[in-house]
Amino acid sequence: MKKIISVMLVMSMVVLILTGCTNSDDSTKKETSGSSQTPASTVEAGETKEDQVVNIYSWNDEFKSLYEAYATDLAEKHGVKVNFIIVANENNAYQNNLDAALQAQESAAKDDKVDIFLVEADNASKYTKSEYALDIVGDVGLTEADLADQYQYTKDIVTVDGVQKGTTWQATPGLFAYRRSFAKEVLGTDDPAQVQELLSNWDKFDDVAKKMKDAGYFMLSGYDDSFRTFSNNVSEPWVDDTKIVIDDNIMKWVEQTKMYTDERFNNRTTLWAPEWSADQGPDGKVFGFFYSTWGINFTLLGNSLADADSEPAVGNGIYGDYAVCEGPQAYYWGGTWVCAAKGTDDTPFIKDLMYRLTCDAETMKQITLDTQDYTNSEAAMGELADSDYASDFLGGQNHIALFAEAAKKIDMSNISDYDQGLNESFQQAMHEYFEENVDRETALDNFYTTAFEKYPELTK
Amino acid sequence: MKALNVKKGKHVSYSKWGYIFLIPFFLVYGVFSLIPMISTFYYSFFENYMSGLKMIGPTFVGIDNYIKLLNQGDLLKYTQNTLIMWILGFVPQIAVSLLLAAWFTNIRLKLRCAGFFKTIIYMPNLIMASALSMLFFALFSNNGPINMLLMDSGIIDEPFHFMSSAIGARGLIAMMNFLMWFGNTTILLMAGMMGIDPALFEAAEVDGATSFQIFSKITMPLLKPILTYVMITSLIGGLQMFDIPQILTNGIGGPDRTTMTLIMYLNNHLFNNNYGLAGALSVIIFIITGALSIGVFKSLTGQKGQGDKG
C-alpha cells in the first residue's frame, strides 16, 4: 500500500513538472475580469530559425480575422510567419505591454521585435507622436496615390508634422442601432428614415425613451452606451497642457444617464459585460444601442444570434431584426490604425499588408460585403452607397448610403494623449454615482484620484 | 584542524559547523530579500515614472514621494479598508476555529470521521485565491445564481448589486478570507490543544468545572503562544491582502474605493510604472506592518503575570 502511494506521489510530481514546461497553444482572451497584474500574451505559430517572424501586437482578434480572411497569401509570398500577440485593453494593460516591448526594441532578438502594432483612436496620438511609429510613405513605401482614396480624417489623426504614421481599413461614423420589432410595436414604424425623425435630437430621444418604458422595454442597455455620443461632441480635449478639463458635454452625459437610471430607462449594465451582451440577443428587452460601424459586425451580429455555431442568417436569433439610423447627434467611435514599428526588418511584407487591407479598393469593398464594416475607401463606399446593396443582418437596409456623407464630416481634432485612461476612469467613477453609492462630487474626486494614478504628471 | 580541536581539550566544539550550515540561508536571504529591501528604501527617495513613452527620472526628490502619498493619496482610507476587511474575516475565523478545535480534540465527544472533516475544512485553502474570487464574482454578479435564488424565493424583488454596495463587496471579501483560512487555523489550534496535558482537564472535571470554564480558564491561557502566532501571521497576511479584492473588483477597488487595499494601491502605481511612489508606499506599508506586529506581540506575550486576567 505504501509503495503504491509513494509511486503515485512521484508520478503526480513528474506530471506537474512536465505540464509546467510545455508551451500551450490556447489563446486566452480576457474580456470581463482578469488579473491586471501580468497581462498574459499568446504565442501562436512556432518559430523556426529560417523563417522571418512578423510580430503583430493587438488587443483583440479583429485584425487577425481580417488577415486570415484576406491576406494570408502575403505570408507565403514573403516567406514570413505571422505571429499575433494579443493583450486585452483593460486597465491600460495593452499599452503597458506594448510600451515595454517597444522600449526593448533595440535589444530584442530579431524574431522578437515588434513589427506591426495596432492603435485605436483613444491612444493613437501617443504612439504616432513617438519615434516608434514609422512613416508609412517614406519608410514603409506606400505612395500618396495609394492613400488618396482614404477618408481624410483617418489620415489626419495619425499625421504628425505632415508625416502619416499609420493607416486604417475602416472609417467609424457613429449610429444608433434599434430593434425593428420594438419600433413597430411602440412607434408604429420600423423604417429607418421615420425612426430617425423621432430620434433626431435629445429631447425627442427622451420622449421615445419614456414610450419604451411604458411598453415594458428599456431604451438603452447600460450607463456607458451614450458616452461616446457626448464625448465626441466636446469643444476641447480632455487635457489642456497638463490640466484635466471636464467638458460641459460630458457632464450632460452624466445628467442624462442619471435621469435614465433613476427612471429605469436603462438596464443598468456595463459596456462589454455579459449582461450587456445578453441584452443584444434574443432575450434582450433593450430598444437600441449606440454603436460605431465596427460594432455591427464585430459585436452586435454575434450577440444577436441564438445559436453561435450555426449559420448567421435570418431565423437564427434576432438576426435581421436590427436597423440603424443616425441617432440624436453625429459622432464617431474609435477605429483601429495599423502602425509599422521602428526597427522592424519586414518592411516589404508590411507594405503589402497595409496596401492590401487599407488601400486596395477591391479588398475593402469585399470586407464591407462580408462583414458590413464601413471601410476606408471613398470610392468603394460611394459605389456601394449608390448600388442596391442591402444588408441581411439589418433587415435589408443599405447602411453604407446612410453614412457615406457622415463619414466625410468626422472631426477628430479634440483627441489627446490621455483619452483612453481618462475615458475609462471617468465612466467607472460615474457608475458609482449612477448606482447611488456616492454623490456626484465624490465620484468626480474618485475620477481624479484614478486619473492621477494612471498619469502622474496630470493636475486638477 | 578538527583533530587538533579534539586533542586540545576534552571539550569538542562543533558549533562552527552550525554557523556554516546557516550560511546558505543568510546568503539567499541577503541577495533576494535584504538587498532589494535596502534598495527599495534608497529608491523611494527618487522620482521615477512614465509619461507617454518616456521614462521620467530617476531623479532625487528627497521625501517628496512620501509627502505626496500622505497628502494626496487616501492612504488612511486604504489602511482602514484593509483593516476592516481583515477584522471582518478574522473574528469569525478565530471563533469558528476555536470551536472546531475544541470539538475535535475533546475526547469525550467522540466525533466520528474526524479525519474526514479535517480534510474538508482544509480544502478551501488549497484553491487558488484567484480562482475562488472568479467563482464568487460569477456567483454574486448582477444576474448570477445567488441573485436568481434570492429573487425566486421572493426575498428580494430586483437583483441586489453586491459589487456596488460597500457592505456587500467587503462582506464577500471577508467571507472568502474566512473560507480560505479557517481550516488552517483550526489545525494549528488543534495542535496547540493537543499539547496541553490531559491531567489538567481531568483535575478540572473532578473539581466540577463546566465545559465552558475548562475552556476559558485552562485551554485559552495555555494556547497563548499559538494564538500569538496565529494573530501575527494573520495580521501580516491581512495587511497584504491583494489577490482576492483585486480579482473580485477587477482592480478598481470596489464601490467608492471601499475595497481598495494598500497592496492594490501599490499595484496600481507599479502597473502605471510609477516606481517612485510605489517605493515610498512599500516603505510605509513595511513600517505599518512592523509597528502593528510589535504591538500585537507585546500585548499578547508581554505581561506574563497578568496573562490570566484576559
| Nearest CB neighbour to A453, from listed B51, B143, B269 | B269
Rg of chain B's alpha carbons, rounded to an integer? 25
B148 in contact with A, Cβ within 8 Å: no
Q: Which chain B residues have a beta carbon less than 8 Å from that of A126?
A: 52-53
The reported pLDDT for the residue numbered B220 is 87
Per-residue pLDDT band for B34 (boundaries 50, 70, 90) equals very high
* DSSP bridge partners of A176: A290, A325
Q: Which residues share a beta bridge with A85? A: A57
| Of residues B142, B247, B269, nearest to A35 (C-beta) | B247
CA distance A40 to chain B (A): 14
- The pTM (predicted TM-score) of the whole model is 0.76
Q: How many CB atoms lie within 10 A of CB B144?
A: 17
Cβ distance B272 to A103 less than 8 Å, yes or no, reads no
Determine the residue type at A457: E
Nearest of A86, A90, A37 to residue B129 by alpha carbon? A37
CA distance A271 to A313: 26
> Cα(B231)–Cα(B297) distance, rounded to whole angstroms?
9
Residue of A363, A312, A377, A373 lying closest to A67 (CA atoms): A363
| Window B:16-55, CB contacts with A under 8 Å | 49-53, 55
The three cell numbers of residue A72 are: 494570408
Q: How confident is the model at residue B7 (pLDDT cuts 50, 70, 90)?
A: low
Q: Give the cell for residue B34.
A: 535584504
Residue A312 CA to residue A301 CA, distance in Å, equals 8
Reading chain A (460 residues) residue by residue, the pLDDT tens digits are 889 999 999 999 988 888 766 544 333 333 333 333 333 333 333 333 335 888 999 998 888 988 998 888 888 888 888 889 999 887 778 888 888 888 888 888 888 888 999 998 888 888 888 888 888 888 888 888 888 888 888 888 888 888 888 888 888 888 888 888 888 888 888 888 888 888 888 889 889 889 888 988 888 888 888 888 888 888 888 888 888 888 888 999 999 999 998 888 888 888 888 888 888 888 888 888 888 888 877 788 888 887 777 777 777 778 888 888 888 887 888 888 999 988 888 888 888 888 888 888 888 888 888 887 888 888 888 888 888 777 878 888 888 887 777 777 777 778 888 888 889 889 988 988 888 888 889 889 889 888 888 888 888 8
Cell of B282: 512599500
d(CA A396, CA A363): 22
Q: Please list every residue in chain A whose beta carbon sits closer than 8 Å to the beta carbon of residue B166.
A: 437
Domains annotated for chain A, with CATH where assigned, are 52-171+334-386 (3.40.190.10), 174-331+418-454 (3.40.190.10)
Q: Which residues contact B63 (CB under 8 A, 6 or more apart)?
A: B45
Question: Does A218 lie at the interface with B, CB-CB under 8 angstroms?
Answer: no
Helices (H), chain B: 2-8, 15-29, 35-43, 64-71, 75-105, 114-122, 129-139, 145-152, 166-194, 198-206, 211-214, 220-222, 224-239, 243-248, 262-271, 275-301
Give the residue on A whose Cα is nearest the Cα of B249. A33
Does the beta carbon of A453 lie under 8 angstroms from any beta carbon of chain B? Answer: yes
Average pLDDT over residues B123-129: 90
Residue type, A115: D
Chain B nearest CA to A334, separation (Å): 20
Q: Which of A381, A124, A173 is nearest to A294 (CA)?
A: A173
Contacts of A35 in chain B (CB under 8 A): 130, 246-247
pLDDT confidence of residue B2: 52
Q: Is A33 on the interface with B (CB under 8 A)?
A: yes
Give yes or no for residue B4 having a pLDDT over 60: no
Q: Can you give the pLDDT at residue A30?
A: 35
pLDDT of residue A20: 65
- Taking the C-alpha atoms of residue B38 and residue B47, their distance in angstroms, rounded to an integer, is 17
Is A90's Cβ below 8 Å from some Cβ in B?
yes
Mutate to test the interface with A, among B68, B141, B147, B252 (most CBs of A within 10 A): B252
Which of B81, B148, B257, B261 has the highest number of chain A CBs within 10 A, making it the mutation to test binding with A?
B257
Model pLDDT for residues B216-248, shown as the tens digit of each residue: 888 888 898 888 889 899 999 999 989 999 989
The residues, any chain, with a CB within 8 Å of residue A71's CB and separated by 6 or more, are A353, A356, A357
Between A406 and B180, the higher pLDDT residue: B180
pLDDT digits (tens, 9 = 90+) for A91-134: 778 888 888 888 888 888 888 888 999 998 888 888 888 888 88
**Domains, in order of start, for chain B:** 1-33 (no CATH), 68-309 (1.10.3720.10)
Q: Tell me, what amino acid is at A350?
A: I
Q: Which of B53, B257, B271 sits opposite A102 (nearest CB)?
A: B53
In sequence order, what E strands does A93-219 have?
Answer: 116-120, 159-160, 163-164, 174-179
Residue B304 has a pLDDT of: 46
B267 touches chain A (CB under 8 A): yes
